[in-house]
Structure 1
Amino acid sequence: MSDTILLPFSSRADCQAQFAAVLARARSTLQLFDPDCAIFPLGDSSTDAALRAVLAGGGRLQLAVHTTSYIERHYPRFLRLLRDYAHRIECRVTSRSLHQLTDSFCVADGIHIVRRFHSEHFRGEAAFDAPEATELPLERFAAIWEESNVALHTSTTGL
């Protein structure tokens, strides 16, 4: 029997608060999948500070999305972060065959997770210090990552 405590949420504010809690616990790895990252506040100053702390400490970020257009239009702070830490951040765009995937999740260090059951709704759950809760999402992320292509280059030439 598992001792994992799942923390349900059903609003934008609660989802973003759980995302912030996952980021605050991250030390070495972040794997994030979302169709467009519109709900994860990658452009906020507090998110930027948390990500910079992880990356400055040697951490890595893997971001998989269906489209980068929302990030490019609304998250200039994240694009600066990408430029500053290009060696620690990898962004990929999923292949068209994966565009039917509609869930959304962020896993930190393989043991903390926030996930929404459907990207068009705020209903989801978070779990902390719970590797059993991240096992299936991490397997899915690995499969998504394999079927994705590099995106969000740090310059127009990709260098």
Structure 2
Amino acid sequence: MTDATALPFNSHAEFEAQLRDCLGRARSTLQLFDPDFSVFPLGSTETDAALRHFLAGGGAIQIAMHRSAYIERHYPRFLRLLREFNHKIEARATPRSLHHLTDSFCIADGTHIVRRFHSDHMRGEAAFDTPQATELSQERFSGIWMEAVSTLHPTTTGL
């Protein structure tokens, strides 16, 4: 994705700004991957409002992670959103064999992307209205999604 359309970022504030922009542009699909989503602002009121608007407008979310514990402990708003829109949000956890994957990204509609090169660092790039910038991450997400299993069930029984 390193080209003239890429918008680099190096801080948490810049990452959040690019992510808000990406969420605001989404119309039909969001595909998110991160080892644990600890730096994603999934618990903020602003993100909750953006995701509610997106889902109410007919959008769908696929979220993949290595571990869901951080979301379960720190993002009650996201868990409430999952309960309310469980038919539009699917969460999956990767098998141990994929825990070596350390990148982090959010793809909106196959056209917009915010990507951190490594989940331990804030350095990354964003690209908007650039489908070719999302191709590699979309392919990666498809592979992750196929291997992952359901997690973050809306109720304790998973129903």
> When the two structures are superposed, what TM-score results if normalisation uses the length of structure 1?
0.97
Match of 2:68 in 1: 68
Where in structure 1 do 4 or more consecutive aligned residues deviate above 4 Å?
none
State the one-letter code of the partner of 1:120. D
Match of 1:138 in 2: 138
Supply the distance in 2 between the matched residues of 1:12 and 1:54 (Cα, whole angstroms): 23
> When the two structures are superposed, what TM-score results if normalisation uses the length of structure 2?
0.97
Give CA deviations for 1:60-82 in whole Å, capped at 9, x if unaligned.
00000000000000000000000
Task: After TM superposition, list the pairs within 5 Å mapping 1:65-104 onto structure 2.
Answer: 65-104=65-104
Match of 2:152 in 1: 152
1:35 maps onto 2:39 in alignment: no
* SS, match of residue 40 in structure 1: coil
Shift of 1:51: 0.5
* SS, match of residue 62 in structure 2: strand
Supply the distance in 1 between the matched residues of 2:83 and 2:43 (Cα, whole angstroms): 14
State the one-letter code of the partner of 2:141. F
Quick one: percent identity of the two aligned structures? 66
Unaligned runs of at least 5 residues, structure 1 = none
Match of 1:123 in 2: 123
Kindly tell me the number of residue pairs found equivalent between the two proteins.
158
Unaligned runs of at least 5 residues, structure 2 = none
* SS, match of residue 115 in structure 1: strand
Give CA deviations for 1:6-45 in whole Å, capped at 9, x if unaligned.
0000001001111111001001000000000011101111
Shift of 1:4: 5.4
Task: After TM superposition, list the pairs within 5 Å mapping 1:35-54 onto structure 2.
Answer: 35-54=35-54
Match of 1:56 in 2: 56
